[in-house]
């Protein structure tokens, strides 16, 4: 009697290849457009921006975040590439501008997680965005660095409490190649990172299985 060995189809076993309903917040920015372009076509991508995209939301306002989720409904992944910051010399940094950084970048992303937990399907994921400035500082960026550090700390702690096999990670990138024209002058000596590497970092978080990780792209 002959025995036939069944060949395993790795593509079928790979749960990351399943179609997901993915929200990209900040979809029209440099990082956001990179993410959207890299997500495979079988995913249903919902683009969110303050004044553009499929849905509009201002993540500095919790009520706007709540309204966004109510409009979108259940999702498999939320990717955050939004959060404005002010740059200012340390000795001249007014409290209101420093708080702006924490409110718009750090608390904006954190509130998207807190408000979105009940809208995230079992096994889903949140991917937040920080940046290089808390790891490799530049002048006038103490406010941005503080926001980045807050995001990283939140993700590391929240990961051990995520319910229903959901996950949370954060991507921290250096100066992206497509951002050099706009920001290169304030990043002296920094070697730009390719958009391909930035995209792969987010794909690793969305389609992979990691949790509580800081994924750096330097």
DSSP string, 149-182: HHHHHHHHHHGGG--TT-EEEEEEE--BGGGHHH
So where are the chain's domains?
Answer: 18-217
Q: What is the pLDDT of residue 17?
A: 67
**With bands split at pLDDT 50, 70 and 90, how would you rate the model's confidence at 127?**
very high
Q: Which pLDDT tens digit goes with each residue over 56-102?
A: 999 999 999 999 999 999 999 999 999 999 999 999 999 999 999 99
**With bands split at pLDDT 50, 70 and 90, how would you rate the model's confidence at 18?**
confident
H or E element, residue 127: strand 120-129
Strand order in the sheet with 214-217: 55-56, 44-49, 21-25, 75-80, 120-129, 167-173, 214-217
Sequence-distant contacts of 23-26: CB under 8 A, at least 24 apart: 23/48, 23/72, 23/75, 23/77, 23/78, 23/79, 24/48, 24/79, 24/81, 25/49, 25/57, 25/59, 25/78, 25/79, 25/80, 25/81, 25/82, 25/112, 26/80, 26/81, 26/82, 26/83, 26/129
CATH fold of 18-217: Rossmann fold (3.40.50)
Strand-pair partners of 25: 48, 80
């Amino acid at each position: 009697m002959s025995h036939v060995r069944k060949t395993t189809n790795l593509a079928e076993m790979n749960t990351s290849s399943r179609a997901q309903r993915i929200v990209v917040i900040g979809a029209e920015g440099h990082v956001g457009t990179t993410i959207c372009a890299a997500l495979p076509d079988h995913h249903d991508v919902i683009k969110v921006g303050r004044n553009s995209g499929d849905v509009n939301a201002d993540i500095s306002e919790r009520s706007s975040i709540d309204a966004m989720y109510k409009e979108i409904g259940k999702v498999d992944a939320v990717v955050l590439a939004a959060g404005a910051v002010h740059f200012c010399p340390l000795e001249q940094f007014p409290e209101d501008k420093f708080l702006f950084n924490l409110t718009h970048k750090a608390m904006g992303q954190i509130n998207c997680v807190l408000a979105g937990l009940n809208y995230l399907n079992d096994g889903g994921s949140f991917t937040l965005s920080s940046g290089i400035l808390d790891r490799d500082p530049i002048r006038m960026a103490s406010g941005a660095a503080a926001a980045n550090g807050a995001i990283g700390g939140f993700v590391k702690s929240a990961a051990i409490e995520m319910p229903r096999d959901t996950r949370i990670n954060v991507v921290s990138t250096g100066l992206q190649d497509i951002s050099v024209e706009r920001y290169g002058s304030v990043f002296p000596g920094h070697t730009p990172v390719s958009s391909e590497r930035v995209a792969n970092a987010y794909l690793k978080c969305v389609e992979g299985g990691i949790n509580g990780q800081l994924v750096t792209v330097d």
